[in-house]
Amino acid sequence: MAPHQTRLRARYAETDQMGVVHHAVYLVWLEAARVEYCRAAGFDYGAMEREDGIGIAVVETHCRYVYPTRFDDEVVIETRLEAASPRLVRFAYQLRRAADDRLLATAETKHIFCNRDMRPVRLPPKYWSLFGIPRGAGLPTP
Amino acid sequence: MAPHQTRLRARYAETDQMGVVHHAVYLVWLEAARVEYCRAAGFDYGAMEREDGIGIAVVETHCRYVYPTRFDDEVVIETRLEAASPRLVRFAYQLRRAADDRLLATAETKHIFCNRDMRPVRLPPKYWSLFGIPRGAGLPTP
Amino acid sequence: MAPHQTRLRARYAETDQMGVVHHAVYLVWLEAARVEYCRAAGFDYGAMEREDGIGIAVVETHCRYVYPTRFDDEVVIETRLEAASPRLVRFAYQLRRAADDRLLATAETKHIFCNRDMRPVRLPPKYWSLFGIPRGAGLPTP
Amino acid sequence: MAPHQTRLRARYAETDQMGVVHHAVYLVWLEAARVEYCRAAGFDYGAMEREDGIGIAVVETHCRYVYPTRFDDEVVIETRLEAASPRLVRFAYQLRRAADDRLLATAETKHIFCNRDMRPVRLPPKYWSLFGIPRGAGLPTP
CB atoms C13 and A35 under 8 Å: no
The phi, psi pair for C128, rounded to 5°, reads -55, -45
Query: Which of A20, A26, A27, A72 best probes binding to C when mutated, by most C CB atoms within 10 angstroms?
Result: A72
- Give residue-wise pLDDT tens across range B77-125: 999 999 999 999 999 999 999 999 999 999 999 999 999 888 999 999 9
The confidence score (pLDDT) of residue B48 equals 86
- Give residue-wise pLDDT tens across range C14-46: 999 999 999 999 999 999 999 999 999 888 888
**A19 vs D contacts (CB less than 8 Å):** 118
The confidence score (pLDDT) of residue D81 equals 95
Among D13, D35, D70, beta carbon nearest to B31: D13
- Considering only CA atoms, which of D90, C17, C46 is closest in space to residue B35? C17
Going B4 to B7 to B10 to B13, the CA torsion angle's sign is negative
Please say whether the beta carbons of D61 and D105 come within 8 A. Answer: no
**3 state DSSP class of A72:** coil
C53 Ramachandran zone, left/alpha/beta (phi>0; psi -120 to 50): left
CB atoms B45 and D72 under 8 Å: yes
Among B13, B18, B19, beta carbon nearest to A22: B13
- How is the beta sheet containing A103-114 ordered, strand by strand? A4-9, A74-84, A88-97, A103-114, A55-65, D55-65, D103-114, D88-97, D74-84, D4-9
- Give residue-wise pLDDT tens across range D78-113: 999 999 999 999 999 999 999 999 999 999 999 999
**C9 vs A contacts (CB less than 8 Å):** 32
Query: Is residue D139 very low, low, confident or very high in pLDDT (cuts 50, 70, 90)?
Result: low
User: Among residues of chain B, what percentage have pLDDT more than 90?
Assistant: 73
Please say whether the beta carbons of D120 and D112 come within 8 A. Answer: yes
Higher pLDDT, D140 or A49: A49
pTM of the shown model: 0.95
Higher pLDDT, B60 or A43: B60
The confidence score (pLDDT) of residue D96 equals 98
Compute the average pLDDT of residues B14-40.
96
Query: Is residue C138 very low, low, confident or very high in pLDDT (cuts 50, 70, 90)?
Result: low
- Give residue-wise pLDDT tens across range A68-117: 999 999 999 999 999 999 999 999 999 999 999 999 999 999 999 999 88
Among D20, D24, D55, beta carbon nearest to A24: D24
**CA dist., res. C58 & res. C27, Å (int):** 11
ipTM: 0.93
The reply to whether C68 touches chain D by the CB within 8 Å rule is no
**CA dist., res. A11 & res. A98, Å (int):** 15
- Give residue-wise pLDDT tens across range B51-81: 888 989 999 999 999 999 999 999 999 999 9
**A19 vs B contacts (CB less than 8 Å):** 17
The confidence score (pLDDT) of residue D2 equals 86
The confidence score (pLDDT) of residue C48 equals 86
**CA dist., res. C126 & res. C137, Å (int):** 13
Compute the average pLDDT of residues B14-41.
96
Nearest chain A residue to D114 by CA: give it. Answer: A18
The confidence score (pLDDT) of residue D45 equals 81
- Considering only CA atoms, which of B12, B7, B5, B6 is closest in space to residue B72? B12
- Give residue-wise pLDDT tens across range D108-128: 999 999 998 889 999 999 889
The reply to whether C68 touches chain B by the CB within 8 Å rule is yes
CB atoms D17 and C12 under 8 Å: yes
- Give residue-wise pLDDT tens across range D9-66: 999 999 999 999 999 999 999 999 999 999 998 888 888 888 888 989 999 999 999 9
Query: Is residue B25 very low, low, confident or very high in pLDDT (cuts 50, 70, 90)?
Result: very high
User: Among residues of chain A, what percentage have pLDDT more than 90?
Assistant: 73
Query: Is residue A44 very low, low, confident or very high in pLDDT (cuts 50, 70, 90)?
Result: confident
Higher pLDDT, A29 or B127: A29
Higher pLDDT, C132 or A94: A94
Beta strands in chain A (DSSP E): 4-9, 55-65, 74-84, 88-97, 103-114
The confidence score (pLDDT) of residue D117 equals 86
The reply to whether B7 touches chain D by the CB within 8 Å rule is no
Higher pLDDT, A111 or B133: A111
The confidence score (pLDDT) of residue C141 equals 52
The confidence score (pLDDT) of residue A105 equals 98
Average pLDDT taken over every residue of chain A: 92
